[in-house]
């Protein structure tokens, strides 16, 4: 796999990347579960390499990360006992992290996200079959007592509000459903929507999802069959419609065992969608039809071994993928015309890197 990654580095030299404002700097945050630390990196856009900035220890198994909408705070869920969330302030000049607080969470949380105001932390527990809401203080510290805990079907895996912050959704991998809620952003309360759930096919295992920037579509990644379901979305009602299509993220002719999809991301302009599949250690690249929401796969790219996490920068120029078994990150340049990925740099990290978030500062 390393040979494939290094071989593609040369391809990236032909990619024409549009300029980014000189004042902006791009920082990458990676949680390393086994070594219990967060890697802070900077993307050197000119050299097209990852520059180490800081390594921050935490007190437990570091996994999902959430960054506040104003980019002032970073939260990481610690999935070993005692289950908790570590919160940090982000230095706007350097991207470095400073500890704010570590507070309990109701369970081991497989996913965390702030609401669109940054006042509440939403979390989903795979083992505990629940989602929770905790308030976030003005200093970035998460309140120890949740405002709400909601029982779900088996294996809640992700929870997130839509762009309006009036609606929320939670995937249940073991229940093959997406739960639909209204969200009270004043009190931090979830309530079942008029249509409380959307069922997927049996055995799909809904995992992560993203909203199209135009708010017309939702893309749901299914872990157990490595597919993506495309749904129309009514942002006024806050409800998913009937599935438009289902596409695979597995390489053609895949015979590597049970599928194991991990992450899905969409570009800021909504033109392209990316997904990782752990069993084949690949990234799939899709073009998005703006009118219909349908996907056309344009590439399957070998990447780091067991790629649980990856992320895109907001300009759609770079992608960073990490491998849980390779303990490394690869930086890819994204061709602005084709969306094609070209590896430009590879960097060793801590043990079991699994979650990636990228932000621009200031």
Residue 95 has pLDDT above 90, yes or no: yes
Residue 55 has pLDDT above 50, yes or no: yes
pLDDT confidence of residue 21: 44
CA–chain centroid gap for 32, Å, is 15
Place of tokens 């997130």: 160
Q: Residues of the chain with pLDDT > 70: what percent?
A: 94
pLDDT confidence of residue 42: 98
Per-residue model confidence as pLDDT tens digits over 100-124? 999 999 999 999 999 999 999 999 9
Q: Is 155 in contact with 129 (CB distance < 8 Å)?
A: yes
Cβ neighbours of 10 (radius 10 Å): 11
Cα distance between residue 241 and residue 255, in whole Å: 33
- Averaged pLDDT, 224-233: 98
pLDDT confidence of residue 1: 52
Listed in sequence order, the DSSP H helices in 137-206 are none
DSSP secondary structure of 270-283: SSEEEEEETTTTEE
Cα distance between residue 28 and residue 39, in whole Å: 8
Confidence of residue 14 (pLDDT cuts 50, 70, 90): very low
Residue 11 has pLDDT above 50, yes or no: no
- Averaged pLDDT, 82-99: 98
Cα distance between residue 222 and residue 203, in whole Å: 9
Of 271, 179, 176, 184, nearest in space to 224 by CA: 176
Cα angle 43, 101, 95; round to 5: 15
- Averaged pLDDT, 188-209: 98
pLDDT confidence of residue 5: 52
Cα distance between residue 51 and residue 29, in whole Å: 12
Cis ω before 355 (30° cut-off from 0): no
Look over the chain and give the mean of its residue pLDDT values, rounded to a whole number.
95
Cα distance between residue 173 and residue 158, in whole Å: 9
225: β partners: none
Phi-psi region of 172 (alpha: psi -120 to 50; beta: other; left: phi over 0): beta
Higher per-residue confidence, 180 vs 23: 180
Confidence of residue 210 (pLDDT cuts 50, 70, 90): very high
Per-residue model confidence as pLDDT tens digits over 57-70? 999 999 999 999 99
pLDDT confidence of residue 18: 45
Cα distance between residue 220 and residue 266, in whole Å: 11
Residue 8 has pLDDT above 70, yes or no: no
Confidence of residue 312 (pLDDT cuts 50, 70, 90): very high
Q: Which value, to the nearest 10 degrees, does the dihedral of the CA atoms of residues 70, 74, 264, 337 take?
A: 50
Per-residue model confidence as pLDDT tens digits over 120-176? 999 999 999 999 999 999 999 999 999 999 999 999 999 999 999 999 999 999 999
Cα distance between residue 135 and residue 299, in whole Å: 41
Cα distance between residue 200 and residue 222, in whole Å: 9
Per-residue model confidence as pLDDT tens digits over 315-357? 999 999 999 999 999 999 999 999 999 999 999 999 999 999 9
């Amino acid at each position: 796999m390393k040979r494939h990654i290094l071989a593609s580095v040369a391809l990236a030299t032909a990619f024409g990347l549009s300029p980014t404002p000189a004042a902006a700097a791009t920082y990458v945050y990676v949680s390393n579960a086994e070594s219990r630390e967060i890697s802070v990196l900077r993307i050197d856009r000119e050299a097209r390499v990852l520059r180490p900035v800081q390594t921050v220890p935490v007190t437990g198994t570091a996994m999902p990360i959430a960054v506040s909408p104003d980019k002032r705070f970073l939260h990481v869920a610690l999935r070993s006992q005692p289950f908790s969330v570590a919160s940090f302030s982000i230095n706007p000049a350097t991207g470095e992290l400073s500890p704010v607080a570590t507070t309990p969470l109701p369970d081991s949380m497989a996913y965390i996200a702030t609401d669109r105001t940054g006042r509440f932390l939403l979390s989903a527990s795979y083992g505990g079959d629940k989602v929770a809401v905790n308030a976030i203080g003005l200093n970035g510290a998460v309140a120890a007592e949740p405002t709400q805990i909601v029982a779900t079907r088996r294996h809640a895996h992700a929870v997130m509000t839509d762009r309006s912050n009036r609606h929320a959704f939670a995937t249940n991998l073991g229940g093959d459903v997406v739960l639909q809620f209204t969200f009270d952003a004043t009190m931090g309360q979830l309530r079942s929507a008029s249509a409380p759930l959307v069922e997927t096919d049996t055995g799909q295992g809904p995992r992560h999802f993203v909203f199209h920037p135009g708010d017309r579509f939702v893309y749901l990644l299914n872990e157990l069959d490595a597919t993506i379901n495309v749904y129309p979305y009514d942002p006024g009602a806050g409800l998913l419609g009937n599935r438009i299509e289902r596409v695979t993220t597995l390489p053609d002719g895949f015979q590597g065992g049970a599928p194991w999809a991990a992450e899905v991301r969409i570009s800021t302009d909504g033109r392209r969608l990316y997904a990782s599949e752990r069993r084949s250690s690949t990234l799939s690249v899709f073009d998005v039809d703006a009118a219909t929401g349908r996907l056309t796969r344009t590439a399957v790219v070998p990447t780091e071994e067991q790629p649980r996490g990856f992320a895109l920068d907001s300009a759609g120029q770079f992608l960073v993928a990490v491998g849980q078994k390779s303990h490394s990150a690869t930086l890819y340049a994204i061709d602005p015309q084709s969306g094609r990925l070209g590896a430009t740099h590879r960097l060793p990290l801590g043990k079991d890197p699994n979650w990636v978030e990228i932000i621009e500062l200031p």
